Amino acid sequence: MTHGADPAPVPADTPPSGDGAAPWWRRGLVYQVYIRSFADANGDGTGDVNGLRSKLPYLRDLGVDALWINPWYKSPLADGGYDVADYRAIESRYGDLADAEALITEAHDHGIRIIADVVPNHSSVEHAWFSEAVASAPGSPARARYHIRDGRGPGGTLPPTNWQSVFGGPAWHRLPDGQWYLHLFAPEQPDLNWTNPEVQSEFEAVLRFWLDRHIDGFRVDVAHGLVKDPAYPDLDNATTRMLASSKLPNHAHWDRDGIHEIVRRWRAVLDGYDGDRMMVAEAWVSPERLPLYLRPDEYHQSFNFDLLEASWDAGEMHDIIDSATKAAANVGSTPTWVLSNHDVMRATTRYGLPNGTDWRSWPATGPHEVLDVARGARRARAAALLLLALPGSAYIYQGEELGLPEAWDLPESVLDDPVWERSGHTMRGRDGCRVPLPWSPGGPSNGFGSDAGWLPQPAGWDRLSAEAQTGDPTSSLELFRSAIALRRVHGAVDEQLDWITADDSTLAFRRGSGLTCVVNYGPEPVPLPEHGEILLASGPQAGADRLAPDTAVWLR
């Protein structure tokens, strides 16, 4: 079989992955919807709930088990909706609560579960609680819901600590009366005080609000950030990076032990509901600390970001897969794999940069010429077959199935991510992976909506549209469709992984069903195992029994 062509037919009685003995999320394939850029039903340039409803048949046919929808709550969108003004209302640009309820029902009718995004670390400055806090006196109960403190130095004119915002600049902002509030992200995102019982009970009520509306799970934003050191010490090494700082022991605001008590209470709330309701943590913590979040009475899953951060290197990826698989098994969970999301450069471009490039700051820091577009596309296709062959669950990000590249040269005038301003225009931020999806060639936004989208699509995206790729056996979309169908039959049936080879240039492993995945990371073709029928390949092979560079293959 050549790449992308005719998957083995799925037998009619094959249970969708997750049905049967294991809860669905252990092996589920989750599709991330960045709703602002997914599909625009009302033609205002912004994606919406009804646009998503119209694409449910596409998602069902793609074969996904669940959708994770980025925050859809009422929000001024200072950080793409991660600044929530009302956790129980849908942002009017996206629709209303009735639309969301209809979406949940219709998705369930298609056999697709819905994971909502919950943002507990901070609210929006437009949340009623923050307005009340600003209007209230220092020391008042309204201020105690946030981290609001006196400053240091003469007249309190200096911030209370040296903590830095993840988006750049100090993490404190001064109120008109002279006190300072903490914002680990943008100033429009004041951090909530999780030692306050009112904050705790409000969030439990918010979880119930959505569970009562049949939400199947929650992705928990900045799960490692909720608890702050009550002594508010200065940091020795104040850094804006979430990952780097969270790897430091006993950090003042990342990955503190008190987080786990909060998570256990949320877990009890979920366990009180029928069905396999789940929670997945966005916790940028060290591999040693990650299993703590996965204990049986805490999160069901936590994203593994190490694979996403890894270079295109067989040894590095082997070690990450091996240790994450063992660590998850030790606490009774399964690994949760991800290669792309709304915060990182799209894999197709990332893998086109030389190993070791700091893609978070490229192209501001590096020449454009180092990007090898064709190599990036080849490697992203191979990485997709790796991702979808791994045991556990996999999350794919909208447009990943289309092989979309990062729109890394968007005009500066359209950049919307707070990172751009906060970094003093040294980091372009994350807009390049958030460009509206192309659905069909032509029109002002290639089928995203009847008008131009809120970010412009790069030239050539008509050819990357879902419609243009459908039926083309060499397309990224057909590769994903084939792989996902095969995954249901061969990959998601158990959680076994046995290594066959892991050397400098090749990774090969077998799954319990007999599915074998081989990836060639090196510059030369490598021999394929002698026995085995090729089910799917990410690109042309180098002869019948040799695997070309930057290519992956599935055999049985």
Binding site for ligand GLC (CB under 6 A): 79, 82, 119, 185, 221-222, 282, 342-343
| Count of alpha carbons within 13 angstroms of residue 458, beta-carbon side | 14
| DSSP bridge pairs for 537 | 553
> In the complex with ligand GLC, which residue's Cβ is closer, 70 or 357?
70
> Pairing mode, if any, of strands 516-520 and 534-537?
unpaired
Distance of closest approach, residue 158 Cβ to ligand GLC, in angstroms? 25
Give the separation between CA 417 and CA 405, rounded to whole angstroms: 18
> In the complex with ligand GLC, which residue's Cβ is closer, 180 or 397?
397
Is 498 an active-site residue? no
> In the complex with ligand GLC, which residue's Cβ is closer, 216 or 343?
343
> In the complex with ligand GLC, which residue's Cβ is closer, 123 or 349?
123
> In the complex with ligand GLC, which residue's Cβ is closer, 342 or 511?
342
Distance of closest approach, residue 252 Cβ to ligand GLC, in angstroms? 18
The catalytic position among 282, 306, 400, 550 is 282
Give the separation between CA 264 and CA 194, rounded to whole angstroms: 14
CB atoms within 10 A of CB 39: 23
Angle value at C-alpha 315, between 532 and 17, nearest 5 degrees: 50
Is 282 an active-site residue? yes
Judge contact between 307 and 386, C-beta under 8 A: no
> In the complex with ligand GLC, which residue's Cβ is closer, 350 or 487?
350
The catalytic position among 65, 79, 216, 221 is 221
Nearest by Cα to 432 from 470, 397, 463: 397
Q: Which residue has the tokens 């990952």?
A: 243
H helix or E strand, kind and range, residue 202: helix 197-212
Report DSSP state, residue 487. Answer: I
Name the closest residue to ligand GLC (Cβ): 82
Q: DSSP letters along 4-49, please?
A: T--PPPPPTTPPPTT-SSS-GGGT-EEEEE-GGGT--SSSSSS--H
| DSSP bridge pairs for 32 | 68, 397
> In the complex with ligand GLC, which residue's Cβ is closer, 129 or 554?
129
Distance of closest approach, residue 79 Cβ to ligand GLC, in angstroms? 5
Cβ burial of 56 (10 Å; 0-12, 13-18, 19+) is middle
Judge contact between 160 and 180, C-beta under 8 A: yes
Judge contact between 438 and 457, C-beta under 8 A: yes
Residue 88: strand, helix, or coil: strand
Q: Which residues are catalytic?
A: 221, 282
